[in-house]
């Protein structure tokens, strides 16, 4: 497995620990979005995409965040359930959506994302800088043959036999 593309969007308000959002593409085939670069006590690190943990209201059964005092749907007062705890004994408020299952993969992701994050920081210091995260792809941050390259070989066959000239175009559109 190889990371074939990394996209980084720097966060403008750097007073917070969150420094950037990232997307990575594996093998020109699979994209994982919403990775975060966080400034930790030992330097930046990559956090995997996650979602807030929820609990259901006993009255209307609507989902609410774990620490909610009142139901978002019916307004009933909610009892605070003991949330699952992580290894440090703290309540677990977020659950990873996607994550590596071994240290080798985690290190590969961390290395590639932080390299591109540092390169994006350098580009951001140049006059007229504009983030490429949401734009059409330019081949500056991808390895040869990535899915968003516009000069792909027309002779490449697709599983469905259809033209792949614009494969992946628009995947970062809102």
What's the pLDDT tens digit per position in 30-54?
A: 999 999 999 999 999 999 998 888 8
Whether residue 157 is contained in a domain is answered as no
Task: Give, in degrees to the nearest 5, the angle at Cα 38 between 134 and 145.
Answer: 40
Higher-confidence residue of 7 and 135: namely 7
Whether residue 132 is contained in a domain is answered as yes
Helix (H) or strand (E) holding 109: helix 103-124
> Structure pTM?
0.62
Say what the pLDDT of residue 38 is.
Answer: 95
Q: Domain of residue 58: give its range.
A: 52-92
Q: How many CB atoms lie within 10 A of CB 20?
A: 25
The predicted model gives 155-159 an average pLDDT of: 44
Say if residue 44 is in the same domain as residue 98.
Answer: yes
Distances (CA, A) of 10 to 19, 109, 158: 6, 18, 34
Say if residue 35 is in the same domain as residue 114.
Answer: yes
Say if residue 40 is in the same domain as residue 107.
Answer: yes
């Amino acid at each position: 497995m190889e990371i074939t593309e990394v996209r980084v969007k720097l966060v403008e308000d750097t007073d917070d620990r969150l420094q950037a959002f990232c997307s990575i593409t594996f093998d020109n085939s699979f994209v994982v979005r919403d990775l975060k670069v966080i400034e930790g006590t030992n330097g930046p690190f990559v956090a995997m995409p996650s979602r807030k943990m929820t609990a259901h209201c006993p009255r209307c059964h609507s989902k609410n965040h774990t620490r909610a005092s009142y139901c978002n749907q019916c307004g009933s007062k909610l009892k605070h359930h003991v949330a699952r705890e992580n290894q440090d004994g703290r309540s677990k408020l977020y659950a990873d959506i996607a994550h590596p299952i071994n240290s080798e993969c985690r290190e590969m992701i961390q290395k590639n994302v932080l390299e591109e994050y540092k390169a994006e920081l350098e580009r951001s210091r140049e006059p007229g800088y504009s983030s490429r995260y949401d734009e059409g792809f330019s081949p500056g941050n991808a390895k040869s043959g990535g899915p968003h390259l516009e000069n792909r070989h027309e002779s490449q066959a697709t599983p469905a036999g259809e033209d792949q000239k614009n494969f992946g175009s628009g995947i970062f559109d809102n």
